[in-house]
């Protein structure tokens, strides 16, 4: 994306962010989603979203909206609910016993927590990459094919094309094309992480969530993965949680800062990357991004 386009996006984004639009009155469900005009509607919106683990709040009152095709970085110290925030987007919170979500998350205008939402469809549209690469103990090929088969892609040729396509997309094809049938666990950490990204992209998601995707990797692999994420800009809506402020500054169009206040995580700042790093509105953010704190 060129510079002008980014500026343009930034400006409209700012306006959109600060015009305090009222929440839609009608609950929208997955089944009655209309084709969306991507230039207007945000990809993800949250309304006073919060999450409790067994009565103890992890974060609360987070309201933001994320534009289609943008990269949004969520930064902040440990334990302020960044990962929990991500897990609300694809309802991975369902797997954690005793955790309760309050408020609303809408992806493409559909309420994620509505009873009408089909979790499988949701997770197919919202991919997630974890901190520690988690390829399954299967061959490289099977790792990508397993979810595809689950969604009814059966043709050998079609599967082969998708596998090659996504592996090329993550720059892994040339490295592994001769050993697609060997165990994915033999790949290096960085390769494993790229395989996981390929596996998620194979399902053609609209949103890809990254939970500190580089923190378990060495600097070189980390750089490769980071470039890969930058390459997703425009094609996917990316939300990335990171501890690495420099990474956030390099990657993100938008930055949200989480901080622990009153015993739970809060969103203390949300704006364009430039805003947050150059003219933050919250003094804490200023200290944080300038390395005086956190």
Q: Using CB under 8 A as the criterion, which residues of the chain lie in contact with other proteins when the complex forms?
A: 90, 92, 94-95, 119-124, 127-128, 130, 132, 134, 136-138, 142, 146-147, 149-151, 183, 185-186, 196, 199-200, 203
Tell me how far, at minimum, the Cβ of 5 lies from other proteins, in Å: 31
- For other proteins, the closer of residues 237 and 275 by Cβ is 237
- Looking at beta carbons only, is 43 or 129 nearer to other proteins? 129
Pick 86 or 245: Cβ nearer other proteins? 86
CB of residue 65 to other proteins, shortest distance in Å: 23
Minimum separation from the CB atom of position 293 to other proteins (A): 31
Confirm if 29 and 117 have CB atoms less than 8 A apart.
yes
Shorter beta-carbon distance to other proteins: residue 28 or 216: 216
Q: What is the closest distance, in whole angstroms, from the C-beta atom of residue 123 to other proteins in the complex?
A: 4
A 10 A CB-CB count for 173 gives 16
User: What minimum distance in Å lies between the beta carbon of 262 and other proteins?
Assistant: 29
Asked if residues 265 and 82 have their Cβ atoms less than 8 Å apart, the reply is yes
What is d(CA 211, CA 240) in angstroms, rounded to the nearest whole number?
6
Pairing mode, strands 254-261 and 71-75: parallel
String of b and e for 90-123 (b: at least 16 CB within 10 Å)?
A: bbbbeeeeebebebbbbbbbbbbbeeebeeeebb
Smallest distance, other proteins to C-beta of residue 137, A: 5
- Contact between 76 and 258 under an 8 Å Cβ cutoff? The reply is yes
Residue 182 or residue 290: which is nearer to other proteins going by CB?
Answer: 182
Instruction: Show Cβ contacts of residue 38 under 8 Å, excluding neighbours closer than 6 positions.
Output: 68, 69
Given the complex with other proteins, which of 105 and 276 has the nearer CB atom? Answer: 105
Q: 13 near 40, Cβ under 8 Å?
A: no
Does residue 74 sit in helix, strand or coil? strand
Give 101 or 267: the residue with its C-beta nearer to other proteins. Answer: 101
As to burial, measured by CB atoms within 10 angstroms (0-12 exposed, 13-18 middle, 19+ buried), residue 218 is exposed
Q: Could you identify the residue written with the tokens 């559909």? A: 110
Q: How far is the CB of 227 from other proteins (least distance, A)?
A: 23
């Amino acid at each position: 994306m060129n510079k002008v386009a980014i500026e343009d996006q930034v400006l409209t984004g700012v306006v959109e962010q600060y015009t305090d639009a009222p929440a839609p009155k009608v609950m929208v469900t997955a089944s009655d989603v209309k084709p969306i005009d991507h230039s207007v509607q945000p990809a993800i919106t949250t309304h006073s979203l919060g999450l409790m683990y067994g009565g103890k709040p992890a974060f609360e009152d987070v309201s933001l909206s994320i534009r289609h095709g943008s990269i949004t970085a969520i930064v902040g110290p440990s334990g302020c609910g960044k990962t929990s925030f991500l897990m609300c987007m694809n309802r991975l919170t369902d797997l954690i016993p005793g955790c309760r979500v309050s408020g609303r998350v809408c992806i493409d205008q559909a309420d994620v927590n509505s009873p009408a939402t089909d979790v499988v469809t949701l997770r197919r549209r919202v991919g997630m990459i974890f901190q520690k690469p988690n390829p399954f103990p299967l061959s490289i090929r099977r790792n990508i094919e397993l979810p595809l088969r689950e969604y009814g892609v059966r043709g050998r040729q079609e599967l082969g094309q998708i596998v090659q396509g996504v592996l090329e997309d993550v720059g892994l094809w040339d490295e592994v094309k001769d050993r697609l049938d060997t165990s994915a666990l033999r790949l290096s950490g960085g390769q494993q992480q790229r395989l996981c990204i390929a596996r998620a992209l194979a399902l053609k998601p609209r949103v890809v969530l990254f939970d500190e995707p580089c923190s378990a990797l060495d600097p070189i692999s980390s750089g490769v993965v980071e470039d890969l994420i930058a390459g997703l800009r425009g094609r996917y809506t990316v939300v990335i949680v990171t501890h690495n402020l420099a990474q956030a500054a390099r990657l993100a169009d938008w930055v949200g800062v989480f901080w622990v206040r009153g015993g739970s995580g809060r969103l203390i700042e949300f704006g364009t990357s430039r805003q947050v790093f150059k003219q933050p509105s919250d003094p804490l953010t200023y200290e944080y991004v300038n390395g005086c704190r956190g």
